[in-house]
Amino acid sequence: MIINARRPVLITGGAGFIGTNLAHRLLCDGHPVLILDDLSRAGVADNLRWLEEHHGGRLEVVVGDVRDAELVRQAVNRAGAVFHFAAQVAVTTSLKDPLHDFAVNAGGTLNVLEAIRAAVPSPPLLYTSTNKVYGGLQDVPLALIDGRYAPEDPCLRAAGIGERQPLDFHSPYGCSKGAADQYVLDYARVYRLPALVFRMSCIYGSHQRGNEDQGWLAHFVLCALRGEPITIYGDGHQVRDALHVDDLVDAMLKAIARVEVVAGRAFNLGGGPANTVTLNEALAAISRLHGQLPPLRSSGWRQGDQRYYVSDIRAFQRAADWRPRIGVVEGLGRLYAELRQTREDLRPRAQAAGGSRS
């Protein structure tokens, strides 16, 4: 199945980091795009202006909330494909307000699924879940090797965490995203919807405005550029696989193009074992790019923190003939260069009042 060129591609949360990159790629390829976004996150209005400046009339925007079932239904009825990114994204926010977290992540996703179920024909759906559905991975024995946490099992160390890893929801955020993840897979099975799930690891790249809760590579770079302190939670030896957003967009478009093959499945999606980095290694790389680092602060482990998470990406590689092209060193260099050129992001935060902030 290819995207129906006569209908717009619906991207919920489309003014966010990933949505902006996907919308730009689609619009460059000639596909009309419909963005549904409540514009509640800092910086997304800037992303929207950037898209409108570059693409004009081929982009349509509906300012609204995925909790509004009727608004979602109207948008889905027009769509040739749906990418559902709209979400509450922070573990810390979910701990403060779990009801809001559930209403957006689980309830909003159910609204999208019900709208797709009622549509004729049902447009294909890609839902972005998270590696947090696997919890803290306490059942994976780890060793500290050369300043990096790594599984003791050599096979797991070589391949990463696969889709057979038991689900273990931690935090309200993990529960709400995990519930939505399972709803998508169940609707694909029960109602035969053309839907799939990406359980994503560390995604980074253009248009990202990172903070302590999400987008940590961009957060580190921005702190270095602003001269603001960076807080390291845990010991800095935790390992993540990093995937550049350009590679993620490639994967998303391949998934929709092959939705008949991949529907009903969840795929772990990240940079894989070839693109791993620890917090300490990322700081060292940023120091080489910038010449120095701001003050570093230490704090304890946060609830749900994983000492090790690397995606086993082989299942999606086999299903869609995809692999990451941009390595961490190259991608981090791109991110640094792009953020250095973004004046709004480099202003001290106290002086940025009245404008969008990272």
- Rounded average pLDDT over 7-21: 97
How confident is the model at residue 350, as a pLDDT? Answer: 39
pTM: 0.93
In this prediction, residue 305 carries a pLDDT of: 83
Mean local confidence (pLDDT), 120-145: 95
Q: Is 173 a catalytic residue?
A: yes
| Average pLDDT value for residue range 302-313 | 90
The active-site residue, picked from 173, 183, 187, 336, is 173
Cα–Cα distance, 140 to 118 (Å, whole number): 42
The tokens describing 332, both together, are: 């981090």
Asked whether the beta carbons of 244 and 312 are under 8 A apart, the reply is: no
Residue 246: burial class (beta carbons within 10 Å; 0-12, 13-18, 19+): middle
The per-residue pLDDT for 57 is: 81
268 pLDDT exceeds 70? yes
**Structural domain boundaries in the chain:** 9-351
| CA–CA distance, 128 with 301 (Å, rounded to integer) | 26
CB 75 within 8 A of CB 34: yes
Q: Which pLDDT belongs to residue 153?
A: 97
Cα 348 from Cα 358, distance rounded (Å): 11
Q: What is the pLDDT of residue 2?
A: 60
- Determine the pLDDT at residue 121: 94
CB-based contact 352:205 (threshold 8 Å): no
Mean pLDDT of 60-79: 97
For residue 196, pLDDT beyond 80:
yes
- Would you say residue 342 has pLDDT above 90? no
For the ranges 160-174, 236-250, 311-325, 343-357, which has the lowest average pLDDT? 343-357
Question: 351 pLDDT band (50/70/90 cuts)?
Answer: very low
Ramachandran category for residue 197: left, alpha or beta (phi over 0 → left; psi -120 to 50 → alpha): beta
pLDDT of residue 6: 81
**Closest by CA position to 241, among listed 145, 177, 181, 158:** 158
Q: How confident is the model at residue 145 (pLDDT cuts 50, 70, 90)?
A: very high
Query: Residue 92 burial by CB count (10 A; 0-12/13-18/19+): exposed, middle or buried?
Result: middle
What DSSP assignment string belongs to 145-185?
Answer: ETTEEEESSHHHHHH-B-TTSPP---HHHHHHHHHHHHHHH
Alpha carbons 318 and 221: distance in angstroms, whole number: 34
Spell 314-343 as b/e; 16+ CB within 10 A means b.
bbbeebbebebebebeebbebbbebbbebe
Average pLDDT, the chain: 92
Alpha helices in the chain (DSSP H): 17-28, 44-55, 69-77, 91-96, 98-102, 108-118, 154-159, 171-190, 216-226, 245-257, 259-262, 279-290, 314-320, 328-340, 343-346
Q: Is the pLDDT of residue 348 over 80?
A: no
Asked if residue 272 has pLDDT above 50, the reply is: yes
pLDDT value of residue 302: 82
Q: Which of 3-17, 172-186, 295-309 has the highest mean pLDDT?
A: 172-186
Answer for the pair 199, 130: CB distance below 8 angstroms, yes or no. yes
Reported as a pLDDT band with limits 50, 70 and 90, residue 41 is confident
In the 8-state DSSP scheme, what is residue 106?
I
Distances (CA, A) of 343 to 2, 47, 219, 260, 352: 39, 14, 15, 44, 11
- Superfamily of the domain at 9-351: NAD(P)-binding Rossmann-like Domain (3.40.50.720)
pLDDT at 93 over 50: yes
- Listed in sequence order, the residues at least 6 apart from 48 whose beta carbon sits closer than 8 Å to its beta carbon are 15, 20, 35, 37, 39, 61
Question: So what's the pLDDT on residue 254?
Answer: 97
Question: What's the whole-number mean pLDDT along residues 76-99?
Answer: 94
